[in-house]
Every structure is written in structure tokens, then in C-alpha cells.
Structure 1
């Protein structure tokens, strides 16, 4: 059982993962990242899990990497850092992730939030990449995902100054999709995840992959992937169920095939 996470069993297809290192503001040490990677790896193979919500505490989603742990590593230790493997596992997760962010989302915490497909933030949330203040730089997607999310100018300002931005600024820049009252952040994220979990799993997976292609490839390649995915879904039982349910004016029951 994880000791740095609180896991809520799947409810209506949604698995909720709470980062649980309150004494360190949920700083992402090797143990936490390993437990998170293992949990997501298991959820990827579990048909009862159709979406995942990741959250932290009221004070911090995750305040960054564990600096004390980093200080113990020399250059060789950094090059062989097992956290890189854990990050790769998290990146490969194939189901929708919704991040419910309150308080600090800094450094690795901001990078973890950006691994999510949708970010819901409380009014008190702060997003930043302060690694430059330690003489280093983001190393888990902070330069690449941030620039794609908020644009070159703001991303460069955040990375090179280390200064965070507010939830309001993050919404304006496109980093997050909604702002809520802090006490309602997790509830809103769970509502969105539950709605997604009720949709056809194959359609959700291929639509998500198609959206990711839009960030990773040129327009022509992305359009080819979209057309191919659309064609694949045309032959699924869930498509037939969706059409019948619409015609019969009833909720659809999707089975994932």
C-alpha cells in the first residue's frame, strides 16, 4: 500500500489519488513518484478505472521536488535518478487525468499538474517553475509543456525569473480550464472526471490521443491521425449504442468495445 498517497477506490469509473506528504508540502520525492507511477500503471490496466483525479492539500498541490533528497545526489546520482523512470511511466498513462490544484503547484508540482489533461484550480493556487533559483532548470517537462500551454513570452518569464503566476493569470494564459472556490476544487474535478468516465472508453482514448497529436505533430499529420481514429470508431459497438440511445432518448451504456 502506498504511504505517500491516499487512494480512493474507483467510484463511477473515477480513481482519486491524493498526494500525502503534508510535512513537506507534498514535495515530490522518489518514493512518492514511484508510488504514483505504480498506481497509474495499475489503473491503466483496470477496466473499472476510466479517469483519474490527482489532488493535494488545501495548502499545496505539490511544492516541487524534494530539495533535501536532491542535495544528497551528485552528478552521477542525478544522471541515474530513478525519478526519470517514474516520470516516464506517468507520461505514458493512457486515460484522462484531471488535476485539482489548491495552493502551491511549483517546480515538479507544476510539471505534474501539466501532465494532466484538465487542470481545475482554486482561487489560491500558484503555478511556477522556480528551479532557476537553485541554479538548475525544469527537468520533467516544465520548459516544453509550459511553453505549449501559455506561449513563449510568459513561459520564458516564468522559467527564467522563477516567479509564479496566480490562478487568474493561469486561466487567462490557458494553463488551466477553470477556477473554483478552494473548498470546491476537488468536487468540481470529480464531477468532470465522472462525466468523462461515462463516455465511450475507446472514443475518449482516441479523442485524447488526437488532441495530444495536435501538440506533437504538424497539422497534416494530426488530421491524418484524426481521420484514422474517426474511422476506427465507426466500427465499434459503442458507436451503435450511442446512436440507438440518442434515437430512443435514453442514456447510453458504453461497454468499451
Structure 2
């Protein structure tokens, strides 16, 4: 699989997807289509147990490529609908990927770039990174649904109304990222975490990701029942029995993904 806007690498059971569209990883239709394609492919790839989303450039992503907007208007009926669908689906492809996804945020994550970050399951940042929803600065408005899932009401609306930046250190203080690290420590930290996740039973990881996604929008009682059903299903798998045997025998488990 080859891409124009992404670079994909493998290390064991970890896949690393690098955003790589110079100069600032502005998201155009091509990049979004490639994000959808690669994350959909991970759903059927048993060799991948964890995914890292990172950047090859100095920023994580500067958001949408606004230079595309004039051309969209000229494409005729349905063009904006298609554009908006690509925007949504590129984030949802990450969120709905059946493997855990870690965001390694090395620099600015603006607008749709912040959206990609929050579509991941776990967020880790360089202390040079920051997030912002700057649409208001170019006469647009977007991101309130996203912001209000991440921040409290006042901070979310202040960011929405002003385009203010929030630093990685502040995100860490608020408990929103796992760490705010010197740039040279970011990827080693993230890869250690990814390898730890990838060492777990693959089928348990898939169920854990599904439970995290589904129960987030469920009432507590229904969510609890959903998780209990998953626990019952997992208890009948070969990997579950292997994990228990390995624990009792004080050895590393050998998982088969079933």
C-alpha cells in the first residue's frame, strides 16, 4: 500500500502512521481518503495490535487545507456534502478502528488536526505542542461538539469564540494528555506504550476497544451489562485460558488471537 500524504511503518505488532504532507500536514481530500484507507485496513490485519498516529513534520497537523475551499464551490451540487463526509469519516476511521490508537503529538494540532488527535484513544504530547480551534480567525465556526467532549464548558467556549491556544503542559495539568515530554523523548515513550499494549491478547484488545467506544454513549446500566457480556465472551476464548495459564506458570503468554 503506497500513499502520497502518509508514511506507514511497522515495528512488530505496532503500526506507525506518519502524517507527511509538507509543509504543515494541511488535510486535503487525498490525505483524508488515505487516512480512511489505512485505518480501515488495520481492522482486517491480525498482525497489527496497536497503531501510533504521528507526524514526520514539525507540526502534527495545521488542520484543513483551506486552499481547497474555492474549488469545492465550483464542483457543483453535492460537492460540499462529499467534502464534509470525508472530514467526518477520516476522524471516524481512527475512532472506529478496532485496534487501540495512540496520538504522538509533536507540534501544533489545529482545527481538524486537533480532531485527528482526539479521535485517537490515548494522547501523548511533546512540550512544544499545542492545540487550538482557530476557525473563528478565518471567519468560520467549527469544533464546538469536539471541544465540549474534551474540555469543560467555559474553556471549550473560550477556545471556540477566540481561537486561543492551549499548550501541552496545560493539557497535562488538566489531565488530558498522558505526558508532556521533551521532543526527543516523545516517540520512545509512545513506542514503549504501544509495545506494552501490543503484548496483550489481541482478541481482548479488540473487545476492549469496542467496549470503550460503545459504552461511552450508553446509560451506565446498559454499559455495565454490555461489558459483562464481553467478559463472558472473552472467558471462553483460547487466549483467555492461555493468559491465565501463563500467569499461574509464571511465563510469557503465547496468544493466537482466538
On whether the aligned pair clears a TM of 0.5, the verdict is yes
1:230 equivalent in structure 2: 231
2:130 equivalent in structure 1: 126
Q: Distance in 1 between matches of 2:57 and 2:72?
A: 30
2:6 equivalent in structure 1: 5
Shift of 1:154: 1.6
Is the 8 Å Cα contact of residues 148 and 215 (structure 1) preserved in structure 2?
no
2:28 equivalent in structure 1: 29
Q: Distance in 2 between matches of 1:80 and 1:235?
A: 43
Is the 8 Å Cα contact of residues 20 and 56 (structure 1) preserved in structure 2?
yes
2:243 equivalent in structure 1: 242
Provide TM-score, normalisation by structure 2. 0.91
Q: CA RMSD in A?
A: 1.7
What's the secondary structure of 1:256's corresponding residue?
Answer: coil
The correspondence of residues 1-257 of structure 1 with structure 2, limited to 5 A, is 1-8=2-9, 10-23=10-23, 25-57=24-56, 59-74=58-73, 76-81=78-83, 83-84=86-87, 85-138=89-142, 142-257=143-258
Identify if the C-alpha distance between structure 1 residues 118 and 210 changes in structure 2 by more than 3 Å, giving closer, same or farther: same
Is the 8 Å Cα contact of residues 64 and 109 (structure 1) preserved in structure 2?
yes
Shift of 1:86: 3.6
Shift of 1:137: 2.6
What's the secondary structure of 2:140's corresponding residue?
Answer: coil
Shift of 1:121: 0.2
- Number of matched pairs: 252
Give 5+ residue unaligned stretches, structure 1.
Answer: none
Is the 8 Å Cα contact of residues 91 and 115 (structure 2) preserved in structure 1?
no
Shift of 1:89: 3.2
Shift of 1:148: 2.2
Deviation digits for residues 117-170 of structure 1, max 9, x if unmatched?
0011000101111112222233xxx43343222222222221221111000111
Q: Distance in 2 between matches of 1:251 and 1:213?
A: 31
Shift of 1:214: 4.0
Identify if the C-alpha distance between structure 1 residues 206 and 51 changes in structure 2 by more than 3 Å, giving closer, same or farther: same
Shift of 1:203: 1.2
Provide TM-score, normalisation by structure 1. 0.92
Give 5+ residue unaligned stretches, structure 2.
Answer: none
